[in-house]
Amino acid sequence: MQNHHSNSNLTTDRPTFVTHLECGLEGDRYESDVIQELSKAGRPLLVKYDLEGIAAAITKEELASRPADLWRYREFLPVRKTENIVSLGEIQTPLIPLSKLQTGSGELLVKDEGRLPTGSFKARGLCLAVCMAKELGIDKIAMPTNGNAGAALAAYATRADISTYVFCPDDTPEINVREIAAQGAKVWRVNGLINDCGKIVGQGKEPMGWFDLSTLKEPYRIEGKKTMGLELADQLGWKVPDVIFYPTGGGTGLIGMWKAFNELKEMGWLQGKLPRMVAVQASGCAPIVKAWQEGTRHAELWQDAHTVAAGIRVPVAAGDFLILDAVRESDGFAIAVDDDAIIAAGEEVSQKEGFLMCPEGAATYAAYQQSLANGTVSPEQSAVLYNCATGLKYELPRADQTLDCTKPIDYSSL
């Protein structure tokens, strides 16, 4: 029967290639296909694949013939059974050139992740985490969030009939708290930061029978975020840009993209130099930048974290060393930008290019400008900035002009 809405990526069974899981720090081996949290060392687990098997099973041409969405990359993903795919339409996000702001021959592109379900790239990670929770029979999930992750979890978990308990700092943007509730989760505001919310989840886990979906405390969010790297390389004709600016909180996306590029390289699908990975943070919460500057492999808890870019207000990251390893291995760097610069950068992009960035996305443009100014990046290098949520989720500058339609209008004054 012909169904105009059927997407063959979501209906066709494909071979899967997960072999096992591995501790990101110690490299010891864990079984896949059973519920796993952190490694024995208390660190994130990474999903390992038979990459030769993937390379033998598919070609770039075959991929190109499939619908352009996250599920195009099925063989690179952990979900075993097609029936466990929970989808809200994870489209391929566009690369938008900022041609007016480009200063040299290196192309300046924004990957606009705001187009995804729930308006942020958290959809990629939570979609995969929820599919795997479904596959592994989990029925109750709890999570701390600065907003967007909770919204994506709520949407996908509700769709999968999994109940969710979400804890946010009390100054989380209003829209996020409401969308979490509207999409069927139980949500509470907590008078602390995301790590304080994480403690509530950690301590409630036993008595409540929750699975803890905190960033990197389960293995599959990274696999969803990895599709940002697969998709970028695919969109650029299996090439990569010189530099990637990534707004870094828990760092799932940066870690995931670096994993994607390395898997593609090992399969022979990418040649030459991989992108320089740049971790962008806000000056009011920059633990990764501090660790990078001091040359340490782990980051210390950042005190009194504050920034307008709520999504990157993460005082301590379980995958700190994975972020720092990726930055160092890729000849990248970590950079902090002030809130004033973030706001000014967002205004410049929307006023000159007609492109509304979220504050975290604007932070990457501020960091790009500063890196050009201090010579760490040259205008001849191509750069991709990640705009990770739609700018419409955030408070916008006021616009208060009024007109009285009962009186003659002085058009010359407009």
Ligand X SMILES: *Cc1c(COP(=O)(O)O)cnc(C)c1O
Task: Determine which residue in the list 78, 150, 251, 287 makes contact with ligand X, applying CB under 6 A.
Answer: 251
- Interacting span for ligand X (CB under 6 A) from 39-47, 102-110, 244-252, 300-308: 244-252
Using the minimum distance from each CB to ligand X, give the nearer residue, 63 or 389.
389
Task: Closer to ligand X by CB, 51 or 279: give it.
Answer: 279
Contact between 287 and ligand X per CB under 6 A: no
Q: Using the rule CB under 6 A, is 45 a contact of ligand X?
A: no
Q: Which of 169, 224, 229, 249 binds ligand X (CB under 6 A)?
A: 249
Using CB under 6 A, which of 44, 106, 119, 247 touches ligand X?
247
Is there a contact between 148 and 173 (Cβ–Cβ < 8 Å)? Answer: no
Interface with ligand X (CB under 6 A), residue from 93, 183, 227, 248: 248
Binding flag, residue 164, ligand X (CB under 6 A): no
Q: Does 320 bind ligand X (CB under 6 A)?
A: no
How far is it, in rounded angstroms, from Cα 279 to Cα 406?
Answer: 54
Burial class (CB in 10 A: 0-12, 13-18, 19+), 408: exposed
Contacts for 143 with CB less than 8 Å, ≥ 6 apart: 149, 150, 153, 164, 165, 166, 167, 201, 212, 213, 214
Query: By CB under 6 A, is residue 46 in contact with ligand X?
Result: no
- Of the candidate spans 136-144, 241-249, 292-300, 337-345, the one that interacts with ligand X by CB under 6 A turns out to be 241-249
Select the residue interacting with ligand X from 164, 227, 252, 390 (CB under 6 A).
Answer: 252
Q: Which is nearer to ligand X, 51 or 313 (CB)?
A: 313
Give the number of other Cβ atoms within 10 Å of residue 20's Cβ.
Answer: 15
Query: Is residue 311 involved in binding ligand X (CB under 6 A)?
Result: yes
**Binding segment (CB under 6 A) for ligand X, from list 49-57, 205-213, 251-259, 296-304:** 251-259
Strand 211-212 relative to strand 333-337, pairing: unpaired
DSSP of 3-61:
-TT--HHHHS-----EEEEEETTT--EE-SSS---S-TTS--EEEEE-HHHHHHH--HH
350: CB partners within 8 A, 6+ apart: 356, 357, 391
Characterize the bridge pairing of strands 95-97 and 45-49. unpaired
Among 240, 286, 357, 358, binds ligand X (CB under 6 A): 358
> Applying CB under 6 A, does 364 fall inside the site for ligand X?
no
- Contact range with ligand X by CB under 6 A, out of 25-33, 183-191, 243-251, 339-347: 243-251
Q: Taking CB under 6 A as the rule, does residue 229 contact ligand X?
A: no
Task: Select from 5, 173, 111, 134 the least CA-distant residue to 365.
Answer: 111
Q: Which is nearer to ligand X, 39 or 252 (CB)?
A: 252
**Closest CB to ligand X among residues 148, 183:** 148
Give the residue from 203, 224, 366, 354 showing the smallest Cα distance to 282: 366
CA atoms within 13 A on the CB side of 398: 3
Interaction between residue 148 and ligand X (CB under 6 A): yes
Measured CA to CA in angstroms, residue 375 lies from 242, 293, 372 at distances of 14, 17, 5
Instruction: Tell me how crowded residue 325 is: count the other CB atoms within 10 A of its CB.
Output: 17
Minimal distance, residue 109 CB to ligand X, in Å:
17
Q: Which residues contact 275 (CB under 8 A, 6 or more apart)?
A: 240, 241, 242, 243, 244, 261, 330, 332, 384
Q: Which stretch binds ligand X (CB under 6 A): 26-34, 158-166, 198-206, 242-250?
A: 242-250
Q: Is 106 in the site for ligand X (CB under 6 A)?
A: no
Number of residues that bind ligand X (CB under 6 A): 18
In the complex, least distance from residue 387 CB atom to ligand X, rounded to whole angstroms:
8
Alpha helix ranges (H) inside 98-173: 122-135, 148-159
Residues near ligand X (CB under 6 A) are: 120, 122, 148-149, 215, 247-253, 311-312, 358, 360, 388-389
